[in-house]
Amino acid sequence: MRGNGKKLFSRGMHIFLLSGVLFLCCAPVPMLVLEERRREERPLFMTLLVLSDPVITRYIHSVERTPVEDEYYPSHGTLWQWEERVRSHNAGLPFSKRPGGTFFQDSSWMYFRGGGAWFSSISLRVGTEEFGRNQLELPGNGSWNLFRLFPEKPLTLRIEEAPLLMAVLRSSVSTLIEE
């Protein structure tokens, strides 16, 4: 009886560990995908995201010539806009908080936070050194000057959910860093 108990415990532990490994390999995780709009080619890059890490876009507003920063978080296969930061609120820039959101400011920025804006994808009209100066920042992964890497190209940011194992194998942020 004693030997059977050990065998049963051992089998149970193996099944438990195998279940854990299968779960980790198959658990859905968000990946940020950057691709050129109007092209059916492979994405420019894909990277695994941690739910608590923001995706930050920066640009210079084309009319007001003022910096704008947008902070998004991955959520249920979409990008959730947590905050938008601006230095002025004239032509084409936010001027009031969203329903359920908040507004505050300090000496540098005006902050529009919350309000629940969700996007299946975000279109980026990438500019140049002179106009736009678009940047993408992924804390923990780096920051890229999109206006240098992809000048005047229309890009799209979106979230794709994939099993963890596939996400790790498909991540290609390093190719963007090297360029």
For the entire predicted model, the pTM comes to 0.81
Q: Where are the beta strands (DSSP E) in the chain?
A: 28-36, 45-48, 55-60, 67-75, 78-86, 101-105, 110-119, 121-125, 135-138, 142-145, 154-163
Which tens digit of pLDDT belongs to each residue from 67-114?
Answer: 889 999 999 899 999 999 988 777 667 777 778 888 888 999 989 998
d(CA 48, CA 120): 17
H/E stretch holding 68: strand 67-75
Which tens digit of pLDDT belongs to each residue from 135-164?
Answer: 999 987 888 999 999 999 999 999 999 888
Tell me the HSE value of 109 on the side-chain side, using a 13 A CA sphere.
12
Type of residue numbered 154: P
